[in-house]
A = this chain, B = another copy of it.
Amino acid sequence: MRLSRYLPILDWGRRYNGAAFSSDLMAAVIVTIMLIPQSLAYAMLAGLPPEAGLYASIAPLVAYAIFGTSRALAVGPVAVVSLMTAAAVGQIAETGTIGYATAALTLAFLSGVILLLMGVFQLGFLANFLSHPVISGFITASGVIIAASQLRYLLGVPGGGHTLLDIAVSLSGAVMDTNVYTLAVGAAALGFLLFVRTGLKPLLIRLRLPARAADIITKAGPVFAVAASIGAVVVFDLGAKGVAVVGTVPQGLPPFTLPSFELELVQLLLASAMLISVIGFVESVSVAQTLAAKKRERIDPDQELVALGASNVSASLSGGFPVTGGFARSVVNFDAGAATPAAGAFTAVGILLAAAFLTPLIYHLPVAVLAATIIVAVLSLVDFGALGRAFRYSKADFAAMAATIAVTLVFGVEAGVTVGVILSLALFLYRTSRPHAAVVGQVPGTEHFRNVDRHAVITSPSVVTLRVDESLYFANARYLEDRIYKLIADNPDARHVILMCPAVNFIDMSALESLEAINTRLNSTDVKLHLSEVKGPVMDRLKRSHFLDALTGEVFLSQYEAFAALDPETAKRALADKSV
């Protein structure tokens, strides 16, 4: 039992049968066809030779099949992580050098080790500190950067840059050198792929094709673009006219590679590896959870960390680069009927066969077509509409999202996600440091108490009740003191202050010291401090301090009890009041 928690394959493998095999095989064929051009394209995005993309889609898939808990997740190179790889490795080495490839392997290895450690120490909860607005903003901005970074391949000009500004500067200097043949091929591929994505399926269905056939044809669209463009290059000899092609891709099995263990390189890459791990994990686990929920299955996030860790370590040992679970391909895998993680292993066999036998076929594949594939894929990630939704719902969420987008576009992916996380945490802390607090009065005819500013309620000149809508902790302890002192100054006739605590989930030591200070200070002006509706766990803790001994007033179970004990006349009159 214990072992199968860490090796889920022992669990589903035991019950594996012919029906599952044929479902998995069918899904694997479809995902393989989809994954080949994607792998090549994402390797290019990461600044690596195309074969690295194929290699990163073999061993990691097998590792995930052994350790993973999701039945539909398809692991491999994905757009955002490839961009982050390019940004991290690009600071250290030049594209095309041995050092660049080694740094990418090392990044995958470090990321794998970090994920494994997070899994072993059950630190998956750390990903919860990436808020939805930050993730959504980060992915939108990354999509924009990725699309922009591919424009140079569409134009057939040199260039670079990992931020929108760098890319724009680099492009504006080179745009006059545009190769019209490259542009024609790229634009045609882009137009075709956009049509495939949006218009093809409805058209096929109008042409009376069965839905399933229409679906498969639509998914094979990129493969058709690849085949057609290779044909065009050969027929019109576009290579001689300056259209860049993929060229020679080594034919054979993935090589055995080793990451570098040089301390200096590890130090340079460590922060990037941590960010890639967390972002990759968040992306992967949300896809896995969404798909699992559709079949009423559950995934185990901590075991997912182990599985993604093993995938990345295996990528680093087989000529790959950082990988994670991808959204589009997992959905395809799921829709194609993948029944177990074995589908991933079969996909790996498919890519292995492609690496071994098919690479000569893509010699003439135009790089512009790969760029078009990437652009179409990432445009679906871009969602600026989320900014508007966030703005309407919450200014804090909007600020976090807008800052993440802006910083990512201008300063790059790592700065963007870091600023986003820090800002969203800071906004949360700021919000809890100035808690909502309301003076409350009794609702006529009831034992309920509500905000005096929102409801017609009955109050007493001698008993003032403040309801604090937040746990009391160091960041808001002094705010509470100020609020109560102001309350006393505004209500000179008050003899009792009740602190109503139904929303106080804990009181830390700093706040306890503030309560003691408030108690002492109120006492010196002959005002008693009482508490009402203190939660069980909070009360347990207060009993372990000396606060309750020093408290001048009492602790009441309900606010009505408190009010009735301190101003019985007003409380009874309010209860009898049927005017409202």
Q: What residues make up the interface of A, taking CB atoms closer than 8 Å to B?
A: 125, 128-133, 293, 298, 389-390, 392-394, 396-397, 424-425, 428-429, 431-436, 448, 451, 454, 469-471, 473-479, 485, 502-506, 508-510, 512-513, 517, 521, 535-537, 541, 544-545, 558
Contact = CB atoms under 8 A, between A and B. Distances in A.
A508 B394 CA distance: 7
Given A394-B509, A505-B436, A476 B128 contact: yes
Contact of A132 (B434, B448, B509): B509
Contact of A510 (B133, B471, B505): B133
A578 B10 CA distance: 56
A430 to B, nearest CB: 8
A418 to B, nearest CB: 15
Contact of A508 (B131, B504, B536): B131
Q: How many copies does the complex hold?
A: 2
B431 A506 contact: yes
Nearest to A478: B128
A541 B509 contact: no
A502 B502 contact: yes
- Best-buried of A424, A428, A508 by chain B (most CB within 10 Å): A508
Given A425-B429, A454-B536, A541-B393, A505 B470 contact: yes
A402 B125 CA distance: 25
The majority secondary structure among interface residues of chain A is helix
Contacts of A541: 393-394
A535 B454 CA distance: 11
7 contacts: A128-B476, A129-B474, A131-B509, A132-B510, A469-B505, A502-B503, A503-B503
B477 A128 contact: yes
A436 B537 contact: yes
A509 B474 contact: no
Contacts of A477: 128, 132
Contacts of A474: 128-132, 424, 428
A508 B396 contact: yes
Contacts of A432: 432, 471
Nearest to A542: B393
A129 B512 contact: no
Contact of A129 (B132, B429, B469, B470): B429
